[in-house]
Chain A
Amino acid sequence: MRNKINEAHESVGSIEAPEADPTEVKRKVVIPGEVIVTGEDYLPGEGTRRKGEDVVASRFGLAEIAGRSIKVISLFGTFIPRRNNVIIGRVRDITFYGWSIDMDSASSGFLPLDESPRFINKDEMDQFLAIGDVIAAKIWSVKAKGIDLTLNGKGLGKLEGGFVFRVIPSRVPRIIGREGSMVGLIKEKTGCNITVGQNGWVWIKGPTTDAEIRARKAVEFVADKVFVDGLTDKMEEWFTTN
């Protein structure tokens, strides 16, 4: 009798706690309202919600099931600003207190005068950043009234020379790769300086125009291939033929 109870417990345990291997990530395409997994034990994360027993997707994209936690990553659509995102933007206006930055999202960013790395006279703000200048900045806070930016950080500041183009913002993590491996590879192979903003703007500056164009093609190639299995290897191969 006792044995039977134990067995029952064990079997329940194995259903509720799926093989908790956090390194293994299962991916699948889900549409809004689709049930991703069923079970009380899962933790609904970003882009998901709980509906009774089930965890359902609340947006269209790629569901990632890592152990118990579940989230849905969007594959298309506009940039949604988050704190600590590095973005590339263009100076739209100079106000009395700072710069208004167009960053290709619903609300524009604001870079306060205090955030500039050195003292700037209020009369000479356009000597530091003029209208139309391109900058790399970090999102300091996201509030209902607007987005505050900062320039304190490595690689942030005015981007001089080169050119900027757009990719789909949700592809940016792929372009950057794990700890910057992908963008590092492109930099190394083309000799270009590349900054990728989370808003999907990419800035490239290289020694020659040809190198810049090659780098752009490489970035666009990566952006097209969303589903990566050893994409870094494929990229190495791409550089041998292009």
Chain B
Amino acid sequence: MAVKRSDGRKANELRPMMAKVGVVPNADGSAIFAFGNTIAIAAVYGPRLLHPQHMQDPATGILRCNYDLLSFSVSDRKKPGPNRRAQEISKVTQWALMPVLDLKEFPNTVIDVQIYIIQADAGTRTAGINAASLALAHAGIPMKDLVCSVACGKLDKDIVVDLSKEEEDYHEGEGATDFAIAKVANSDEFSLLQLDGKIQPEVLKEVIEISKKSCEEIYEVQKKALKAVVEQEMGGKAK
């Protein structure tokens, strides 16, 4: 590797991950997910009656995501409230999660997913998707699978996974590249591919292969977190 990563990680090494389920007592399902210094909390409410009424769909329930980068999550205070970026990320999160959900059982209802980034160090949307996927499962909503998400990028010519903010701002050589990916865990479906920067078509395939491996690692963390919550609730008696 030509460029050394600032925190000494290998190219395909993720930051230390942390996942915990059941962190918001008043929500129907909730989870926290962290990639190193990036921490996301997701809370799921519903299925519940959808207001405004004109959005109701008699054929199926709908998913409504809201992503919020909290004002204290970055070093320069962010002006609180929704903005164009938050709107976009809310939308892509919703699209990333929708393929695993089947809400036909709950017509005219909504499932609200609130994602709060309490600490940001790049890769917030991917951490948000991972947390939301856990929270949806925790809420007992019928799902085909979990969704795992990771961001890949380039340091000059080298492909690296799970960029930190410092790496994301690496502008030398071929320039900064940020490639957010979400994958349906036990299949080869991708539910989010977002590219910011430049990448060669041949390299793209390589990136996808690398991210697949990373998603497997993330899946294991998610799996562990979900199983842990049951054991904890049951006083360690789960078989």
Q: Which A residues have a C-beta under 8 Å from some C-beta of B? A: 27-29, 31-34, 47, 56, 58-62, 74-78, 80, 106-108, 144, 170, 224-227, 229
Contacts and interface: CB of A to CB of B under 8 A. Distances in A.
B238 to A, nearest CB: 6
B145 A32 contact: yes
A56 B187 CA distance: 13
A107 B47 CA distance: 9
Contacts of B226: 29, 31, 60
Contacts of A56: 186
B118 interface: no
B136 to A, nearest CB: 9
Contacts of A108: 49
Given A27-B239, A58-B142, A78-B48, 7 more contacts: A32-B146, A34-B223, A61-B140, A77-B29, A77-B140, A106-B47, A144-B108
Given A60-B226, A226-B234, A32 B144 contact: yes
B227 A29 contact: yes
Given A59-B137, A107-B49, A224 B223 contact: no
A229 B237 contact: yes
B227 A76 contact: no
Given A31-B223, A77-B28, A77-B139, A106 B185 contact: no
Contacts of A226: 230, 233-234
B86 interface: no
Nearest to A61: B140
Contacts of B107: 144
B223 to A, nearest CB: 6
Nearest to B186: A33
Interface secondary structure of A, over-half rule: loop
B174 interface: no
A180 B229 CA distance: 28
A111 to B, nearest CB: 18
Contacts of A32: 100, 137, 143-146
Nearest to A108: B49
Contacts of B238: 28-29, 227
Contacts, number: 97
14 contacts: A27-B239, A29-B238, A31-B222, A33-B100, A34-B223, A60-B137, A60-B140, A75-B233, A76-B140, A78-B140, A106-B46, A107-B49, A224-B233, A227-B235
B135 to A, nearest CB: 10
Contacts of B47: 78, 80, 106
A225 B234 contact: yes
Contact of A227 (B29, B46, B223, B237): B237
A127 B144 CA distance: 49
A32 B184 CA distance: 11
Contact of A78 (B22, B46, B142, B146): B46
Given A107-B108, A144-B107, A75 B146 contact: no
Contact of A74 (B48, B102, B140, B145): B140
A58 B139 CA distance: 13
A188 B138 CA distance: 35
Given A31-B137, A32-B100, A76-B28, A47 B109 contact: no
Contacts of A170: 140
B105 interface: yes
Interface in B90-115: 100, 102, 105-109
B58 interface: yes
Contacts of A33: 100, 143-146, 185-186
